[in-house]
Structures are given as structure tokens and as C-alpha cells.
Amino acid sequence: MSSNFSVQSPPSRNSTAIAAAAAKKSSAVRAVQLQNNEKTAKYYAAAMAGLIIVFTLFHWSRFLYSRYATRGLRKSKFMKAQVSLARLFRHFLNREVPGFTSLGHALLVAIYLAINIILTVTNNDFHIISVGKRLGWMAILNVCFITFLALKNTPLAFLTAYSYESLNPLHQIGGYTTIICAFLHVTLQCVYFHQENKLSILREEAQFYGMTAVTAFFVVLVTAIAVRKLRYELFYIIHITMYMLIIVMIALHRPEFATKTIIITIVAGSMWGLDRILRGSRILYNSINNHATLHPLPNGGTRIVLRRSPSRTVPGTHCFLWIPKIRLIETHPFTIVSATPTSLDLVIAAYDGFTNDLHQYAVKNSGVSLRASIDGPYGALPNFAKVADKVILIAGGSGASFTFGVALDIIKKVSDSSNLSIDFIWTVREQ
């Protein structure tokens, strides 16, 4: 009688060594990927800083030339050639391009997108997980950049003479680019986990935070397309809420300082938070002994006269008006028509939402004085009285509130000996 016994042999040293080598190789690959992604972040920062430097040099060279160039320097052949070349270049960049404000705007967008594409594919082995992670880095980098573009107290206003409203088109392009990068990041990550039979990873807490951030991006996309033009107040509230959620979720998604992504997130959140603190502090300061007197105007207009005016206020710039009686937690931007040390005038056309409620209150309570404050002024205007011989102002409808302010400011600053002429063209719809 015989019996067969199966004996399970212990794992071979060879298989253990192979597994250890594979794990070591995988760890080395991840380290290289992280190093390349960190380099990408530095290249991105350098590229954006380079663009800012170019615009800064262009602005300040024009400013210094117009302000300090002597008559002899202006008449020199070399400077005449430089000025002619600069004007020709500006004329070329100001050409109209469908879908963009100008050819210069189109070129800037093309350069921005090219930077994103080049940095996505550079130093990348094109494995699905590598591309997915790189797109995640690009999304975070773009979040930081579009946050910088959206700052109301942006240093770009001083460096380049472009304030936040001029940067808004690029902010929108950057927002769409960020959302695309985030969606592709999630898609490629999910495909990789499926291929490797690791879908259980998606149930991890860190992945939940990442999915929540992408969901917030989707809400921003939908509201930007479907809500922004119809109900801007609602869009703005959703936009700010989703942004705060995105920053928090990205920080929780990748909280390790070793990966460096958390540093980018902290920078973005800190810029936004500091900007909000500055704006809130300015509103509180300007609210001291400040009231707004409301005067209803024909055809749905409202004139507002504030008791206090910030020292830097220039007609033609704009401020964010806060009247808690009408909207407790909202501020709205309006053009400054005129300003003196003791008063500030706004003329507001009634449409819907805040402006309509404001006008209806003014009609029912003409001459009423309400607690009010402003945040601002914002915007950058050249000193036409010093840099121009002739100024042509064109306005349509309620847009005249801006051009009237500009005209009044020019008249105030022009000297008695100046030959400056102003042509004001105002088009209104015939009733």
C-alpha cells in the first residue's frame, strides 16, 4: 500500500530577488517621474515669468520715453526709427482676429497653449500613468496661474498697466485649459488602474478628494457656459465657492510636502486669501463715515454720490460698490464718473439683479442716504493730457459713464497752453 504526499517547496531565492528588483525599479521610475514633474513646474514658472517680463519691459520703455525723453532724443534718427518700428508692430498686433480681441491676444493665447503642450510632452516616457500624472501637475500649475490673473490687487497693474479686467480673457482660456488637464488626468489614471486591475485604489480617501475637485471643475465649466451670461451674480457665487472647494480638495488629494504639489496649492490659496483680506480691509476702511445718496434718473438710471473718495481715485477707473441695504454680502463693479476729495459719483444703468433693485429703491426713496463703501479704484488709464495731441472717445449707451469720466479727467489735467483736442462720439438707441 503506497501513499503520495505533495510537499510545497518554499519560495525560491531567485523569485524573491526578482520581486525585490522589480519593486526597486518601480520606485526608481516613480522617483524619476517626480523629478521630471518638479522640473516641469520650474519651467512653467520660468515661462510665465518670461512673458510678464516682456510685457513689463514694453510698458516701461514706452512710459519712460513718453515721460522723460528730451526733444533732441525724440528727433534723433535712431529713436525715430525705433518709434516707427514699435508703432508698426502695435498696428500689426491690433488687427482683428475672429474669436479674439486682436491678433496680439490670439498670439498670446497661442503661446500660452504651446507652453502647456510642450511642458506636457517634455521629459515624459509617454506611459499612460506618466502622462496622467504630468497632466495633474499641469492642472495644479494652471490653477495657480489663473488665480494670479484673477487677483484684483494684481502686481501686473503696476508692472504692465494691465489690470485684472484686461487679463480676464486669458484667465478664461487658462480656466478651460485647467479643466481639460484635470479631466484628462482623471481619465488616464482610471484607465491605468483598470489595466492593472487596481480599481480598488479609487476607493482610497486621497482619490475621493481628487474626484471631488474634478467634480467642482465640472460645475465651473457648466456654469461658465450656461449661467454666466444669464445670471452673472449666481455664476459668481458658484464660481467662488467651487474655487475654494477645489483648492481644499487638491491640498487633501496631495498633502505630502515631499511631492511639492502641496506647495503650489498653498501659493495659489495664499494669493487668493491675501487678495480677499486686502479687499475686505479696504471696504471696512472706506465705510467709516461714508454714505451713498441715491438719485433716480430717467430711463432706468441711478446716480450715486458717495461722501468719501479714496485719494487715488481717477474718473474712468472703476470700483466695487457695497451697499448692505441692497445686498449685504455682495459688491458690484461700476465706473467712476467723477471724483473729488469729498465725493465720488457713479451713474448706474438698471438691468436686473442688483442694479434693478438699486434703481427701484432709489425711485421709492429719492435722495435717501444709505451706508455704503467701495473697494478700489481699479483699472489703468494712460495720462492722455501728457502723451496725446488728439483724443477720440467713442461710447455706446450707458458706456458713456466710462468715457465721460475719462473726458473729465483729461480736461482737469490738461494745461492752459496745451493744444490737445477731444472728440466725443456717443451713440444711443433711438426710442
Encode pLDDT of 280-310 as tens digits: 999 999 999 999 999 998 878 899 999 988 8
**What is the structure's pLDDT at 222?**
95
Encode burial over 15-39: b for 16+ CB neighbours within 10 A, e otherwise. eeeeeeeeeeeeeeeeeebbebbee
Note the pTM of the prediction, 2 decimals: 0.84
**What is the structure's pLDDT at 264?**
94
Encode pLDDT of 124-144 as tens digits: 888 899 999 999 999 999 999
Cell numbers at 41, concatenated = 513646474
Encode pLDDT of 147-190 as tens digits: 999 999 999 988 888 888 889 999 999 999 999 999 999 999 99
Distances (CA, A) of 391 to 226, 234, 313, 339: 39, 38, 21, 21
Cell numbers at 287, concatenated = 465705510
High-pLDDT (> 70) share of the chain, %: 90
d(CA 189, CA 199): 10
Encode pLDDT of 395-407 as tens digits: 887 677 778 778 8
pLDDT-wise least confident of 132-141, 306-315, 378-387: 378-387
**Over the chain, what is the mean pLDDT?**
86
Query: Which candidate, 369, 324, 374, 367, places its Cα nearest to that of 344?
Result: 374
Q: Domains, the chain, ranges and CATH?
A: 29-203+256-278 (no CATH), 284-378 (2.40.30.10), 384-427 (no CATH)
Cell numbers 525715430 correspond to: 80
**What is the structure's pLDDT at 87?**
81
Is residue 362 within 8 Å of 296, Cβ to Cβ? yes
**What is the structure's pLDDT at 318?**
87
Q: Report the pLDDT averaged over residues 48-60.
A: 92
Question: 100 pLDDT exceeds 80?
Answer: yes
**What is the structure's pLDDT at 371?**
93
Question: 22 pLDDT exceeds 80?
Answer: no
Question: 1 pLDDT exceeds 50?
Answer: no
Question: 334 pLDDT exceeds 80?
Answer: yes
Q: Report the pLDDT averaged over residues 104-119.
A: 94
Question: 208 pLDDT exceeds 90?
Answer: yes
